[in-house]
Amino acid sequence: MFNAHKTLIAAATLTLAGFCATPLAAESPAAAELVLLGVAGGPTWYGDASPHGISSAVLVNGRAYIVDLGSGAYRQLRRAGVKPGTEQAVFLTHLHTDHIIDLANLLMYDPSARRRAKASMQIYGPGRRGVLPPLAPGMKDDVVVHAENPSAGTRDLVESVVAGMSADLNIRVRSEGVPDIRQFFKAHDIAVPAGVVKDPNTDPAPPMEPFPVWQDERVKVSAILVPHGLVYPNFAYRFDTAAGSVVFSGDTAVSENLIKLARGADVLVHEAIDPAWVDHIVGAKPWDARQQALAHQLLEAHTTPQEVGEVATRAGVGTLVLSHLVPGDAPAEHWLQARRTFQGPVVLGQDLLRLPLRGQPKP
Ligand SMILES: [Zn+2]
Ligand SMILES: [Zn+2]
């Protein structure tokens, strides 16, 4: 049932009517473009036809701004025509492994090309959670992984990747004259505005205003907290460029904060979970308490296609793009339920799909 990738691709191509889905050509100097590098959600292998893990890029005037680094993201960046050293910044929505597993590739590869390009890539993402979530009802074993720092943030993550590769890095700088890769990137924990969150275990994404994370001559990036089960901090991002705006939901349940962030955006890239798949993995009904808890846990952390359409309608966005598809091999018609609740163009995400950002210049 969930192995219909060819159908999905065919339908995705059909949904592109009205868009310039360009091949992998280099962008024109004034272009601002969304590229989906990978559209599968979850740390799961969906079979040989699986899309790559979740990752997207906004390309503006020859620079790449990357959102999340799921499985295969590094290779997909190169296939999309992004050259080593042109990655301006990375924005991690949250630290679930399906969003960061390709970070090591991006940090370690192409050191000589990065030196020639005088690269300086900034990596932004959540800081430390600060407090562990409580044990679920009925659980007894209080297992803590890496008790010295059990809720590592983005800076911790980048430092530990470099530390874990020290044997290789120190050999290469000595024997081959390969540059010290640490000069090519810098990690930053995004500070959540003071006073917004009282307790991440009870309300990890309370109502708030979007806040600025990045600004340069090409793009302004702002963030807001969105709810994703027990994950905290967990961000959605908005990119405003002279050519148009695009919002990435990250992983989220239906979120008033996300609707606020996405208000009037040209493109909304939103995650989706297929409720038929939840039924499939939870098992035959009637559900016992454990099964009900599992279904609730999946559905409360994500958004169904029909709900995604409602979100897009309420936010008043121009075009809706579905990405972070869970599962990665569901039939296209399941995702396109979003068309029942959103009247604008709905694009079913696929790897290496490109969309120009159109729209009115933003102040
Ligand atoms: Zn995810
Ligand atoms: Zn997640």
Pairing of strands 354-356, 87-91: unpaired
Interval between CA 114 and ligand 1 midpoint (Å):
29
pLDDT reported for residue 141: 81
Q: CA gyration radius for the chain?
A: 20
Report the distance separating Cα 158 and Cα 154, nearest Å.
6
Interval between CA 304 and ligand 1 midpoint (Å):
14
Interval between CA 226 and ligand 1 midpoint (Å):
13
Interval between CA 25 and ligand 1 midpoint (Å):
29
- Tens of pLDDT, residues 126-137: 999 999 998 887
Q: Which ligand is nearest to the CA of 53?
A: 1
Interval between CA 76 and ligand 2 midpoint (Å):
20
Top-tier CATH class for 5-132+150-195+203-356: alpha beta
Report the distance separating Cα 88 and Cα 61, nearest Å.
11
- Tens of pLDDT, residues 248-305: 999 999 999 999 999 999 999 999 999 999 999 999 889 998 888 888 888 999 999 9
pLDDT reported for residue 232: 97
The tokens for 193 are 């505005």
Q: How many CB atoms lie within 10 A of CB 54?
A: 35
In the chain, how long is the greatest CA-to-CA distance?
64
Interval between CA 271 and ligand 1 midpoint (Å):
8
Q: How many CB atoms lie within 10 A of CB 14?
A: 11
Are 266 and 318 in contact by the 8 Å Cβ rule? The answer is: yes
- Those residues with Cβ within 8 angstroms of residue 225's Cβ, 6 or more apart along the chain or in another chain: 192, 196, 197, 204, 205, 206, 208, 232, 233, 234, 235, 257
Report the distance separating Cα 81 and Cα 90, nearest Å.
17
Which of 337, 198, 193, 321 lies closest to 262 in space, CA to CA?
A: 321
- Tens of pLDDT, residues 328-337: 999 999 999 9
Interval between CA 242 and ligand 1 midpoint (Å):
29
Task: Please provide the size of the chain in residues.
Answer: 363
Residue 115 is classified by DSSP as H
Pairing of strands 32-38, 87-91: unpaired
Which of 53, 25, 57, 49 lies closest to 41 in space, CA to CA?
A: 53
- The full 3-state SS of 255-314, as one line of letters, equals CHHHHHHHCCCCEEEEEEECHHHHHHHHCCCCCCHHHHHHHHHHHHHCCCHHHHHHHHHH
Q: How many CB atoms lie within 10 A of CB 1?
A: 10
- Those residues with Cβ within 8 angstroms of residue 286's Cβ, 6 or more apart along the chain or in another chain: none
The tokens for 2 are 């969930």
The tokens for 132 are 């562990």
Residue type, 242: A
Which of 261, 249, 269, 264 lies closest to 359 in space, CA to CA?
A: 264
pLDDT reported for residue 197: 97
Interval between CA 94 and ligand 2 midpoint (Å):
7
Q: Which ligand is nearest to the CA of 252?
A: 2
Residues at Cβ < 5 Å from ligand 2 ion: 96, 251
Report the distance separating Cα 275 and Cα 296, nearest Å.
11
Point out which residues pair with 247 in neighbouring strands.
238, 268
Are 189 and 128 in contact by the 8 Å Cβ rule? The answer is: yes
Q: How far apart are the first and last CA of the chain?
A: 47
Interval between CA 278 and ligand 1 midpoint (Å):
15
* Residue 174 burial (10 A CB sphere; 0-12, 13-18, 19+): exposed
Interval between CA 283 and ligand 2 midpoint (Å):
22
Are 107 and 162 in contact by the 8 Å Cβ rule? The answer is: yes
Q: Which ligand is nearest to the CA of 99?
A: 1
pLDDT reported for residue 255: 97
pLDDT reported for residue 359: 61
Which of 126, 124, 56, 120 lies closest to 88 in space, CA to CA?
A: 120
* pLDDT values of the chain reduced to their tens digit, one per residue, 363 residues: 444 443 333 333 333 333 333 333 344 444 899 999 999 999 999 999 899 999 999 999 999 999 999 999 999 999 999 999 999 999 999 999 999 999 999 999 999 999 999 999 999 999 999 999 988 877 788 899 999 999 999 999 999 999 999 999 999 999 999 999 999 999 999 999 999 999 999 999 999 999 999 999 999 999 999 999 999 999 999 999 999 999 999 999 999 999 999 999 999 999 999 999 999 999 988 999 888 888 888 899 999 999 999 999 999 999 999 999 999 999 999 999 999 999 999 999 999 999 999 764 433
Are 93 and 55 in contact by the 8 Å Cβ rule? The answer is: no
